[in-house]
Every structure is written in structure tokens, then in C-alpha cells.
Amino acid sequence: MNIRDEMLGLLSAHDPNFSLEQKFYTDPAYFQLDLENIFYRDWLFVGHDCELPLTGSYMTVQIGAYPVVIVRDKEGRIRAFHNTCRHRGSRICTQDKGKVNRLVCPYHQWGYELDGSLRIARQVGPDFKPADWGLKPVHCETVAGYIYICVADEAPDFNAFRATVEPYLAPHNIKDAKVAFESTIIEKGNWKLVWENNRECYHCAGNHPELCRTYPEAPTATGVQGVEEDPEMIALWENCEAIGLKARFQMAKDGRYRITRIPLLNDAVSYTMSGKAAVKKPLSDAVAGDTNIGAMLLFNYPTTWNHLMSDHAISFRVLPISAEETMLTTKWLVHKDAVEGVDYDLEELTYVWLQTNDQDRRIVEENALGIRSPAYEPGPYSVQHEGGVMQFVEWYTNTMIPRLGGKTQNLS
Ligand code: 3BY
Ligand code: FES
Ligand code: FE
């Protein structure tokens, strides 16, 4: 049996109350199918508009086998291109980020304009038509300061996601913020283990002493069930709505994304050890009042989860490296005029989530090591605490089955 059929068989037979079979977390051929059917087809979060402040500012990202460059053009528009030269294929931009007048290939110096058109190619003969050799575009969309790309020839719809989340995100003014700090770690575990861990707080009390000062263990905070019946949640939503902020739980029909505001513990307003704001200057006037707006949580499979508070926001980007390695990039965003050492202390701003990320990295790595054992077999979820994990696995299963050529069974 070929790998595709084998994977399809396992997914079709998967009991939603149990974790996945070992191969989904360890097998390079399964990983390749994840790349081809998810990461090469869907919209992926890559970074923020404010990281590309000027004409020619760029960032690069590696999506499986695809190097991509994202750049701000002369009209101020953010575009994305395959970062592979149309001459003999060299990578053009080799740094994580930078600023250029033109995209110049380091190999033989073919030079591309910021709109991707080829401008200079030396000594290529009279019949050469530069217009035929522009950079290949990658779909690129932005919403409220968050940049998404899609490397597929035809991208799925982005508008429904934009229409849903833009009114929630826009008041935080991330478009005009600045990245106060970023961290990138490699977790030695499959990308799905990173997500499964993120989608539950069953592990929080035993692992996250710092985060647990402010983040509720209650499944309604992290998960997707019973959220709309939680009285504390409803009270927060009503307070937010009274000051014009959208707050209610919304989830995509196919389960790909959800957004909601949640109350933090003990009236905390930020993920600090004290629960007090880490940044004196709020992100915007719209979120600056006396009303405690808690934290807004957005996940969008397969690449991002986000927390937005009144004083700062944190974005997380999940990129798959191999069957057993995942890159997690975390960015702390503050008002662009907030001054380090005056308006915020960087250590205080980043402490809780740097600790939490490191704790989660260890969790994921231990999970991966245990799953690699021949003795591993899928185990039962806690329905009370791991509804979010079940939802992630259901999304994964329902996304993969039709794309592998099968019929989805348990669409909810
Ligand atoms: O990072 C998250 O979104 C969730 C919330 C806290 C830890 N993790 C379960
Ligand atoms: Fe880019 Fe030759 S490969 S100029
Ligand atoms: Fe955690």
C-alpha cells in the first residue's frame, strides 16, 4: 500500500477520543504529506506589517521546501515572492530580514524590482526578454497588521477570515505597533505536538507556575466547548461591547480558526508576574480605558496563535522543519512610541512567556520521545480538559481526508 492510502486508512479509522498513531508524529513520509496537503495549500501567518516599515524592507521565511521573501514595494504594498532566482535558481535574499533598493541575486547579480519584475540581467544576449523572467509571486494578504501568505497556485478564500477577525483585531492597532522582542526556538517534536500542547491547559498547573498567575486553567479559556455558557466570559464580553470592542467567541465552520476575549485571573490585565500592565503606553486609545478587556485569543491553523491585551500583544508562529522538529517564533508587540526602560521593562514584558515557551518546549520534546517508543499506542483524551486538542485533531483529520482523496466522515 502506498503511504497516501495508508495515511488515509488510519485517518478514516481514527477514533476522535484518542491521540493519533505514532507515524503522524515521526514518519518523514507522513510529514511530507502534511506539507503537501496543508502547508503548501493554506494561508500561513508569517509576520507583521510593522516589521516592514519602509520601501524595500523585507523578511524571509522557509515553508517546507519553499523559500519565500516578503517585501514592501514602492507603493507601500506588501508582496511576497518565491525567493528563488529566475536565472539558475539561487536564493536571492539570504538574511531573515533587511532593507534593499532592489532584490539582487548574490550569484550573478540579476536584479529585480520590488514588484518582482526583472530589471537587470547582464550580458544575456539580444533576444532575452526580461519581462518573461520576473520573480514568481506568492499570494499575500494582510489583516489588521498580520501578514499571511499562501504558496499554492490557487489560494483558498481569505476574505471570510478577514471579515471575521478584523473588527476584533483592528482596535489594537498592531499595524502601527513595533516588535519589542522576538524569540525563535526549535522544538524537537512534530508540528502537531506543538499544537496539541497549545490547545489544552490540562498541563498548565503542573508545568507553568508563572503563566498560572494570570492565565486560567479552565477549559473554556483554552478550549472551544462551553465557552458561550461561561458566565465570567459573558460578563467580560458585555463589558468589552459597552466600550465598542468585539469580544464574543467565534469559530470558523471548518474549525480552522477561533477568536474570543477571555478574562484573566484576579483581574490581571497582562501576562506579568504581578498581573499589571507591562507597558505604560497602551497599544491604542481604543483599548486604553479603565475597562479590563482581558486577553483576546486567536488561533489560525496551522501556523499561529495570538494573545492581544490592552498593553501589548504576542504572536506565535509555528513552522514545520522536519517530522520531528518545529520552529516557534514569538513576537512581543508594543505601541511604536513606547520606550524600553521608560514605558516598559523588557525582562518584565517577556519573562512569563519566555518561561512558558521553554516549559512547553520541554513538554513537547518529552512527548515526542515517548511517542517514538515502539510501546506507544494512542491514548484517551480527557473530554473535560482536552476538547481543544480533539478539535485540532478533528480539523486535521477533516482537512487531510478529502485532500488525500477520501471522504470525510465526522464533519461537525
Ligand atoms: O498559549 C496558549 O494559547 C495556551 C494558553 C496558555 C497555554 N496554552 C494552553
Ligand atoms: Fe541568480 Fe544567477 S542564479 S543571477
Ligand atoms: Fe503550555
pLDDT per position as a tens digit, 274-284:
999 999 999 99
pLDDT, mean over the chain:
97
Query: Edge-to-edge strand order for the sheet containing 103-104?
Result: 103-104, 111-112, 118-120
- Residue 409: predicted pLDDT: 57
ipTM: 0.89
Whole-angstrom Cα distance, residue 344 to residue 356? 20
Which protein residue's CA is at the shortest distance from atom 3 of ligand 2? 88
Ligand 2 centroid – CA 73 distance (Å): 21
What single-letter DSSP state applies at residue 36?
Answer: I
Whole-angstrom Cα distance, residue 376 to residue 364? 15
Whole-angstrom Cα distance, residue 279 to residue 290? 15
CB-based contact 220:227 (threshold 8 Å): yes
Whole-angstrom Cα distance, residue 234 to residue 247? 9
- Residue 408: predicted pLDDT: 64
- Residue 295: predicted pLDDT: 98
Can you point out the beta strands (E) in 157-242? Answer: 177-187
Residue 112 CA: which ligand is closest? 2
Does the predicted model carry a pTM greater than 0.90?
yes
Which protein residue's CA is at the shortest distance from atom 3 of ligand 1? 198
Mutation choice for ligand 2 from 69, 82, 83, 90, CB with most ligand atoms inside 8 A: 90
Mean pLDDT of 28-51: 98
Which protein residue's CA is at the shortest distance from atom 4 of ligand 2? 108
Whole-angstrom Cα distance, residue 21 to residue 313? 35
Which protein residue's CA is at the shortest distance from atom 2 of ligand 2? 108
Whole-angstrom Cα distance, residue 215 to residue 209? 10
Whole-angstrom Cα distance, residue 271 to residue 274? 8
Residue type, 26: T
305 lines ligand 1 (CB under 6 A): yes
pLDDT per position as a tens digit, 167-179:
999 999 999 999 9
Ligand 1 centroid – CA 116 distance (Å): 39
- Residue 407: predicted pLDDT: 81
* Rg value, the chain, Cα: 22
Q: How confident is the model at residue 1 (pLDDT cuts 50, 70, 90)?
A: confident
201 lines ligand 1 (CB under 6 A): yes
Lowest average pLDDT, out of 255-259, 263-267, 408-412, goes to 408-412
pLDDT per position as a tens digit, 295-337:
999 999 999 999 999 999 999 999 999 999 999 999 999 999 9
Mean pLDDT of 340-362: 98
Ligand 1 centroid – CA 121 distance (Å): 49
299 lines ligand 1 (CB under 6 A): no
**pLDDT reading at 411 higher than 60:** no
* Ligand 2 pocket by Cβ (under 6 Å): 85, 87-90, 105, 107-108, 110
Cis peptide before 16 (omega within 30 of 0): no
Whole-angstrom Cα distance, residue 35 to residue 29? 10
198 lines ligand 1 (CB under 6 A): yes
- Residue 412: predicted pLDDT: 46
For 45, 297, 367, the CA distances from 180, given in Å and listed in that order, are 19, 20, 32
- Residue 410: predicted pLDDT: 53
45 lines ligand 1 (CB under 6 A): no
